Amino acid sequence: MSASSSTVAPQTSSSVTEAAEAAVEAIAGAAAQDVAFSLALTQDQKDIRDWVHGFAADVVRPAAHEWDEKEQTPWPIIQEAAKIGLYGFEGLAQFFADPTGLTLPIVNEELFWGDAGIGMSIMGTALAVAAIFGQGSGEQIGEWIPRCFGSPDEVKVAAFCASEPNAGSDVSGLRTRARFDEAAGEWVINGQKAWATNGGIADVHVVIATVDPELGARGHAAFVVPMSEAQGISQGTKVSKHGLRASHTADVFLDDCRVPAGNVLGGKDKLDERLARVREGKKGNSQAAMQTFESSRPTVGAQALGIARAAYEYSLEYAKEREQFGRKIIENQAVAFTLARMKIEIDAARLLVWRASWMGRNQVRFENAEGSMSKLKSGEVAVWVTERAIQILGGNGYTREFPVERWHRDAKIYDIFEGTAEIQQLVIARAISGMHIN
């Protein structure tokens, strides 16, 4: 661990609690922040950036090839991240609580610069945590979020299960059904979830199911299903993937899976009230949901940026070393201009990511789907930059002896998950036109 690690990690328990409470308040929308957008990082942000970078360089990057080849969850590294405070509720809360909104994307970019597969093993839990934060009652947040992470001695991960074999881009068509058994006072959930990051190896699974299929997406609710207690939840096939291979992805089966009434996020009374309003024809909160998605997308974009930056830096150094025709390959404009374009694209994408992150944190209304713009651009940049990096390394770039082919494989997922590139364009097109584009 680098010396800078110690500048952030050891926190007093009171500052940790304050940071966590600040984040809960912020997510609940209690206080709109009013911080001017600035590219000048504060000393705190620089310290956190350097601290995460130290972990990424010293611990994550050296282990990346091994875990990619093994295609297994890197539990020892998650545990190391937990021990220094990078993996856990307090750390995430501290990053989120930053009023500029920039700390969370900075942390993600640095970590994923180290490795995306390991990065996703560390950050994948945040998907479930965000759902509990966003939709859970105070009591549910207190009960379930610590369980998502476990403790540094016994780390846990969490899974967010929305996608299904027949409901990917169009999750409104999901078929997993939750029925309330009045006699037992329990929810009974049946269905199959696909592609769940940490699915089956997590303790806490947040499962999206329909309570009333006739209401489409407005009939959906989120349920906490703890693997260690609930009957009827099991892991299906673990997916063997093109990239992000240190991150576990699997189907999850729910077969007459029973959870207590209180495991629906937000509580059953609120759900009943909401469904009653929708049935009366009153407007649901899809606009609010859209704003929430727009806020979380830049964080995913920042992960893609981390991969792109890794590939750019590596290929720049390689081009300055490698000689052909009696000169460094970077002395050819074809190579140097490519590197210049790589740098410009990465910086441009980062500006979109930081703008959208600042907007989300400061509750500035997304007018033109700025969150989707940032995720779309970053994903495309990561794919393009990593492909160019392979080209700059020539034959070496195409082998597993060098990391750029792994970065290219990892980058591609950012065109696909958390909304495909086409779906992001759909969201942007609808936002700018005010029309229903298909």
Ligand X SMILES: Cc1cc2nc3c(=O)[nH]c(=O)nc-3n(C[C@H](O)[C@H](O)[C@H](O)COP(=O)(O)OP(=O)(O)OC[C@H]3O[C@@H](n4cnc5c(N)ncnc54)[C@H](O)[C@@H]3O)c2cc1C
Residues that bind ligand X (CB under 6 A): 127, 160-163, 168-169, 195-197, 241, 244, 249, 413, 416-417, 420, 422-423, 426
66 catalytically annotated: no
CB 90 → ligand X: shortest distance, Å? 23
CB-neighbour burial class of residue 237 (10 A; exposed 0-12, middle 13-18, buried 19+)? exposed
Closer residue to ligand X, CB minimum distance, 33 or 190: 190
H or E element in which residue 410 lies: helix 404-412
Which residue number has the CB closest to ligand X? 168
CB 438 → ligand X: shortest distance, Å? 6
Closer residue to ligand X, CB minimum distance, 48 or 227: 227
CB 421 → ligand X: shortest distance, Å? 7
The DSSP code sequence of 43-66 is HHHHHHHHHHHHHIIIIIHHHHHH
Dist. CA 254–CA 52, nearest whole Å: 37
Closer residue to ligand X, CB minimum distance, 163 or 263: 163
Closer residue to ligand X, CB minimum distance, 60 or 413: 413
Pair 376, 424: CB distance under 8 Å: yes
Q: At what angle do helices 370-393 and 404-412 cross, to 10 degrees?
A: 150
Which tokens in the block code for residue 157? 């991960």
9's CB contacts (< 8 A; 6+ apart) are: 51, 84, 85, 86
Q: Which of 380, 405, 418, 422 is catalytic?
A: 418
Dist. CA 307–CA 120, nearest whole Å: 12
Which tokens in the block code for residue 297? 């997308």
Dist. CA 61–CA 175, nearest whole Å: 40
Closer residue to ligand X, CB minimum distance, 120 or 310: 120
Closer residue to ligand X, CB minimum distance, 364 or 421: 421
CB 425 → ligand X: shortest distance, Å? 8
Which tokens in the block code for residue 10? 């050891």
Amino acid, res. 45: Q
CB 208 → ligand X: shortest distance, Å? 7
CB 373 → ligand X: shortest distance, Å? 16
Dist. CA 184–CA 87, nearest whole Å: 37
Q: Catalytic residues, which ones?
A: 418
